[in-house]
Structure 1
């Protein structure tokens, strides 16, 4: 039977297990994929803890970890067009991705360019697409200065690069240990910690035109104080209530194949590098998840599956 990495109830790492599950069958609007790589994201362990996205139903256990994957189409579900067995694809998982087989949502799946590896493609549907959506939402004109908090993580590092491709100057907030990495992305690094606002003002004396927050409070409140226009504050790291109280808004996720195609094009052109810093086999999915859950992951972590 195919293997999958699951959690058996809401809680901590003690709920996790590598187990055998029946091969999934694609329903309407779904594609069955033989997984080659799966991206690891903070939302994965948050869902294990009990977090639920708006409108999402209760989890059925055992629940498979993972929100994004790249692989080869095995079968398309009823009503799905544009995909056939053997196609190389990447997209958002309908029911988990840390597995040998996964169901992807057809409307959030794109064909993988031949020039893009499965590993790199697996990093795009969540982190890179979230970064893309946030930068697009801010709609800053070229030459503006964007501040990105959490610039050393998966979404943050993608946001820095995507912002550069849009002609923006970027100031990246991250720990001192991530300075070299953030600067290698082309951002001006500012260390996180007390007195953050003062350091940001020193790094950007002409002011900050937009903020893309990926951390939440107290960083969110601190950087809001340096922003010229609070309407140019978006977050993927804080609850809606917290950011709206400051005059900003949550990132509006588009979640379409068109966005995946756009970020894949950036990756193929070299404008967006996934910066995969560690890979793990499916048998070590727990270690991969701990690397992200501990909060110190640099760039992206990927689980490699299959051939």
Structure 2
């Protein structure tokens, strides 16, 4: 039977397990893929604790497969699906978990993988890169504007910095001292996180900050709000909508469609977006991969390389 990495109840890492599950069958509007790679994101461990993304409702059925973004090979398509056929190389958003040898994708949030884009890199795009793309375009900053980016060294932050740079936007990226080289390699100005970071931002951007893209939340988001004059230019993917709205800002508005997937894939193929995959693990070591992200110390993206043969 196919293997999958799951959580058996809401809680911490102790709820996780590698198990065997029946191969899923695609329902209407779904595509079944043999997974080649699965991206690892903060939302994965947050969902394990009971977090729900905006729009999600209802209780999960356990065991629940972890993971939200994958690349793979189409095995079967569900009723009403057009544009995909068995053998197609695709990437997209998992319907019910992606840390598995087989996964269901929502056809509307699935795109064909270009030959020039590796399966590993493609698996980083549906959540991390698409979130970055949606937020940068939501801000709609003109070339020459200055964007403050908190959490600049993680998977979404790496993509935000590059997408903004491609649009001629200056990025000031807040990240740990250990991620300084990474942040600067993205064309951003690095500001060390930790006590006093806001004063360091003021020194790095004496002409002011035009917008904030927050990936941390909490006290960092509140301090960042004081650095931008127009609070409508404050967005977050690191805090709940109500927290941002209290500060005059908003959550990142996700498009969640194949149009954005094709756009970020085009950026990657053109060389404007490097996912910076820095750690890869096999499915059997999915727990280690998730700990690397959950600990907050991962540089760039972490990916599970699964490579199931059809």
| Equivalent position SS for 1:218 | helix
Tell me the alpha carbon deviations over residues 82-105 of structure 1, each in whole angstroms, 9 at most, x when there is no partner: 000000000000010000000000
Aligned residue number for residue 93 of structure 2: 92
Write the mapping of 1:199-218 to structure 2, written as runs, cut at 5 A: 199-218=200-219
Superposition pairs of residues 1-307 of structure 1, within 5 angstroms: 1-56=1-56, 57-307=58-308
CA deviations over 1:19-60 (Å, ceiling 9, x no partner): 110000000010000000000001111111111223322110
TM-score by length of 1: 0.99
Q: Give the superposition deviation at 1:223.
A: 1.4
State the distance in 2 between where 1:8 and 1:188 align.
42
2:299 and 2:284 map into 1 onto residues whose CA distance is 22
Uncovered stretches (5+) of structure 1, i.e. residues with no partner: none
- 1:243, distance to aligned residue in structure 2 (A): 0.9
| RMSD of aligned residue pairs (Cα, Å) | 0.8
Residues 192-220 of structure 1: per-residue CA shift (max 9 Å, x gap): 11222211110001111110000012111
Deviation at 1:67, TM superposition (A): 0.1
Question: More deviation in 197-206 or 253-262?
Answer: 197-206
| 8 Å CA contact 1:196, 1:222 repeated in 2 | no
Deviation at 1:226, TM superposition (A): 1.2
- Comparing 236-245 with 153-162, greater Cα deviation is found at 236-245
TM-score for both structures, normalised by structure 2:
0.98
Unaligned 5+ residue runs, structure 2?
none
Matched positions, count: 307
